[in-house]
Amino acid sequence: MEVQGKIKLIDETKTFGSNGFRKRELVVTTEEQYPQDIMIEFVQDKTELLNSFQVGQNVKVSINLRGREWTNPQGEVKYFNSIQGWRVEALDASVSSNMPPMPPEDAFEPANDLNEDDHDDLPF
């Protein structure tokens, strides 16, 4: 599954427990009629995927839905869901590469002297 939108928040990597479990949260705001702030967690080595991204960038995040059952000390069964990310791709070409943005169409002069009979772009 995938989630597309604009990065609203990139949290710091947090470490839990004695075994060094790492987690980092990303919030993406979807761009639809009713925008949603979707929190996606990245765990262990996937936390480093977020290092090259910044707030305001448009991204596509590949996710897995995770669910688990937990029984509390009183014996009640509870269910929890999480959204785990495993890949992030930039959608803005101007942000993800070093190329300058394309100038607007009206910045170019039209080719008024083009004669289709004289124009042959075939290489043979």
Q: Report, as an integer, the average pLDDT of 13-30.
A: 94
39 contact partners, CB below 8 Å, separation of at least 6: 25, 26, 27, 83
Position 66 in a domain: yes
Position 113 in a domain: no
Window from 13-17, 33-37, 63-67, 95-99 with minimum mean pLDDT: 95-99
**Is pLDDT above 80 for 99?**
no
Provide the 3-class DSSP secondary structure of residue 5: strand
Report how many domains make up the chain.
1
Domain of 48, CATH number, reads 2.40.50.140
Q: What is the pLDDT of residue 121?
A: 60
Position 36 in a domain: yes
Position 83 in a domain: yes
pLDDT in tens, 54-79: 999 999 999 999 999 999 999 999 99
Quick one: CA torsion of 58, 8, 4, 26, rounded to 10 degrees?
120
Position 12 in a domain: yes
Position 123 in a domain: no
Position 39 in a domain: yes
pLDDT in tens, 24-42: 999 999 999 999 999 999 9
Domain interval for residue 47 = 2-96
Position 103 in a domain: no
Exposed/middle/buried for 42, CB within 10 Å: 0-12, 13-18, 19+? buried
